[in-house]
Each structure stands twice: as structure tokens, then as C-alpha cells.
A = this chain, B = another copy of it.
Amino acid sequence: MASVLRTAAQARPAVARTALRPASRLTPVVLHRKYAAAAAAARAVSSDSGERSIFPDEPSGPSVKTAIPGPKSKQAIERLSKVFDTRSLNMMTDYQRSYGNYIADPDGNVLLDVYAQIASIPVGYNNPSLLLAATSPEMASALINRPALGNFPQHDWADILETGILSVAPKGLDQVFTGTTGSDANELAYKAAFMWKRQQQRGGAGVDFTDDEINSSMQNQSPGAPQLSILSFSSAFHGRLFGSLSTTRSKPIHKLDIPAFDWPQAPFPECKYPLDQYAEENAREEQRCLDETERLIKEWHNPPAAIVVEPIQSEGGDNHASPNFFRGLRELTKKHDILFIVDEVQTGVGATGKFWAHEHWGLSSPPDMVTFSKKAQTAGYYYGNNELRPNKPYRQFNTWMGDPARAILFRAIIQEIERSNLVQNTANTGAYLYDGLARLAEQYPKEIQNLRGKGQGTFIAWDSPRRDEVLKTAKSQGVNIGGSGAQAVRLRPMLIFQKHHADILLEKLDTIFKS
């Protein structure tokens, strides 16, 4: 096992030797093309399923040698504890020895990873294409010359955006404001919404602030600091900074003791699964939630400037609703002249079998803003309407405004996704995996309840009455799985997760349920 796991230190000179020489005459695009051809030639056929492996040289399966954490991990945890809070620690990780879908620990254990750094690793650990991007001269420059993008953008920033972040912009949205994390992305979008709404109330971009607005803003009082809100949904998760946490309604432990804005919370539909079997009942539940949303828009004492919603509520327990519900929200926002923000921080970048999960909805007009992070490894919000650019400079601004290094990495991720058709792979693998889980659910009805995510790629979850025990046992079986909400097991594999990986996962689950 260990022999097929390359460390980054070993892999890098190898890549450099074959592809980077003579580096000075080749552009990164040409270099990448060379590597891609080499990788394609090296593709192996998996003996288990007969499918072509997307990620060459991956381990053929998990390998568990010690209890987890083993002795070396325990030692590392003890040392880290002294300087860093480790009480949320799940598994001490050796990233140099992790590869593809497999995560390694310091004790030599190698696990199939279907949690992927809380859904944020897109194309595999130590992906050679990303390694190439990470060792490129432009990456080095981006790392050591980090710009204040709003003041001193690099001359090729437009090019990096257009060939990267914007090349996968949701339909109808052709601009971006870049940020650093999912929370940051959402808060930036909220700020854009507030400025837009106040400008509208004021009578347009040409109308100046009043003295009262100017003075009261400095006192954190209205009208300068307006009594407006962002409407979110029960069980939503949009981040943990003060504004985003005010829209997060996942769990008390996320919110306790932190001051919050008095913003409204509409009920998210509590649908029955599988969705299509309970279509009529679910439609009634969704209509109830839409009605309550509309009531809150009209009546909440701090009127919303925007609605924010996740296509699938992730941290809150993998809660799904139908496209009809989301179309309904879009209509409500139009009717009441507020903005529709879709938070694709966890659902975006291919995991649901579409590049953006909201593509499943068939909206008649695009969302006003779509926020992204995690698998993008950078963050920000897409928008299309020029009115969402505030009317003066320095209103939507901060020192770094994102990070070109991470934007360059996202471009490499996008190229890797396109090269290996990974969104389609995720749709196909997801369908295969869902069917396998449905069979297991029939066999073990007490273990797999409310299976959900059909047709949503590998974005699959179920409820488990003994969830935490299952997750723990899975580790000893060589599978790293995450939970969400109170009792959901959520699968969040990478986009390179294939049928032969699904087979391993299904087999391990069978073993766990038997026990």
C-alpha cells in the first residue's frame, strides 16, 4: 500500500523532470497539456469494476493497521493540544501520504475518504495537475506578492478570472467579487444586498446620503445602519461570522453566546423521502413554507433585503426540497423586489452532478447572487446586475479581496474537472451509489432511513439512529465518513469518486450494519 502512495516531496521532482523542463520556454497551459497526456496514457483499468481509473496509482483499497488514533497520532495530538484547541479533532492526517480518494494518518492507516475535508477537496489528494499549478512560477508570484486586489490588482487578474472563476460562472451571472471563505463570501453578498436595497429606497445611485444617514451610520444606528435583514431558513448553515451566523440556524452549539441580528427565519420544508414518492404531501409542505416566507417578507419588523438559501441544506442535516420550492422563492423575491442569494458553498463545483446545484431547478431567471467556496478553494459571489456594484468606490472593499493564489488553483481544478469530465462522473457514480444504498436500505431498514439525494450526484445522505457509532466503526473499517444535523450520515466524496470506490463503500457499510 505504502509504495503506491507518493509523498509530495517525491512526486514533485518527478513531475518537474518529465514536464517542467525546459520551463522557461513553456507556458503553464502547454505544461499542463503535456502532463494530461501522460496521465491519460497511464490510466489503469480497475480489476474490480472494469472501469478506467481517473486517478492513476491510487491504492486499491483501504488499509487499517492500528486503532485510530494510533500511537503516533496520539503523540501528535497531545503535542498539538498544548498550542491549538484539538477537541474537534477527527483524525490526525498525513497529507503527504494521502493520495486520490485515500486519506492517510501518521500510523500508516489509509482510509477511503468520503468526507473530503468537509466537502472541500475536489479532485483528490496530491492531484498531479494541481501539483503542477502549485509549483508554477505564477503560483509562486501570487504567494509571495499577495496583492491588495481592490487597489493594486495584478495586470493579468482579468485573465485569471476569465479563464478560471468566471469560466464556470452560473448562467446569467458574468461578474464576481472575490473573497476568502464561505462565511466571507456570504457576508460580502449580504453587504451588496443591503447597499442595493438602500440605494433603491433612496431613489437610485445618483441620490446622495443624507447627513442623518452619515452621522447615524457612525453611531451604528438607523437610518445609516439600517434596520434591514437577510431572511434565511430553519436548519440553514451560512457560516459563523457575526452576519452569516445570524442567518445560520443549524444547531445551538454553533450559535450559543454569540450576539445576533434580529433577522427572520422561515421554515425550510420538512419533506418526506424519497421526494418523488411523497410528491403531493411534500408540495403541500413546500407551499406552507413559501406562504410563511412571504408573510415574513411582508411583516417582519426588520424587512429583508434578500433571501439566502442552500440548494441542499448541508450542515443542517442534508435537507432537500423540490425545484418547485426554489422556483417559488425566486418568484417571491421578484414579487417583493428583494434579492435571491443562492449559497452554493457546499453544493457547488460538481458535487450534485451539475456544476452548480441550482441548475437542477430550471429557474426562469438566474439568482441575483451565487456564493461559492470549499471545493473552489477560493470564495466569492457571482452576480450579473451592474446595480449590485455599489454607487461609490470603497464601499465593498477590504485589503486583500480574495487571493490570486487560490484563484489560480481553482482554475487548475476547473481544468481537471473538464479534462476528466468529472461532473458527469459524479452524476453517474452518484446514481450507481444511490441504487446500492437503496438496496442496503431494504436489507437494513433500521440502519438507513430517509435515504436522500437521488439524481443529485454523490450528494447523498440518510438518517441513522446510531449515527455516531456508525461513523466511528466506519473508521475502523477503513472509511472516513462525516455526519450532519442530529442524525444524518452524509456522503461528500470527491469528484474523482468512481463506481469501484462506491463498491468498497457499500461493502464496508454492509459489514458495519451486519455487526
Interface residues of A (CB under 8 A from B): 7-10, 12-13, 23-24, 72-73, 76, 79-80, 82-96, 98, 103, 105-106, 117-118, 120-121, 125-127, 130-131, 134-135, 137-148, 150-155, 157-158, 161-162, 166, 174-178, 180-184, 187, 190-191, 194-195, 197-199, 209, 213-215, 217-221, 224-229, 239-244, 246, 249, 252-263, 265, 302, 374, 377, 389-390, 392-400, 405, 409
Contact = CB atoms under 8 A, between A and B. Distances in A.
Question: Which 3 A-B pairs give the minimum distances between C-beta atoms?
Answer: A242-B243, A87-B393, A220-B260
Given A126-B141, A155-B93, A118 B148 contact: yes
Given A80-B157, A117-B151, A224-B252, 14 more contacts: A12-B23, A82-B175, A83-B174, A84-B153, A84-B175, A89-B151, A92-B155, A95-B141, A120-B146, A125-B144, A126-B141, A180-B180, A183-B398, A240-B397
Contacts of A175: 82-84
A138 B258 contact: no
A146 B117 contact: yes
Contacts of A213: 252, 256
A134 to B, nearest CB: 4
Nearest to A180: B180
Given A88-B394, A137-B8, A137-B9, A377 B146 contact: yes
B246 A8 contact: no
Contact of A259 (B73, B228, B254, B409): B228
A377 B177 CA distance: 20
Contact of A140 (B134, B190, B198, B257): B134
A139 B143 contact: yes
Contacts of A8: 137-138, 140-141, 144-145
Nearest to A377: B146
Contact of A261 (B190, B227, B240, B242): B242
A187 to B, nearest CB: 5
A259 B194 contact: yes
Contact of A241 (B24, B96, B184): B184
Nearest to A249: B218
A399 B84 contact: no
A315 to B, nearest CB: 10
A186 B80 CA distance: 23
A261 B262 contact: no
Given A120-B400, A242-B246, A400-B120, A153 B253 contact: no
A93 B138 contact: no
A417 to B, nearest CB: 15
Contacts of A157: 80, 84
Contacts of A389: 85, 87
Contacts of A392: 87, 253
Contacts of A255: 217-218, 220, 224-225
A101 B290 CA distance: 58
A131 to B, nearest CB: 6
A224 B259 CA distance: 8
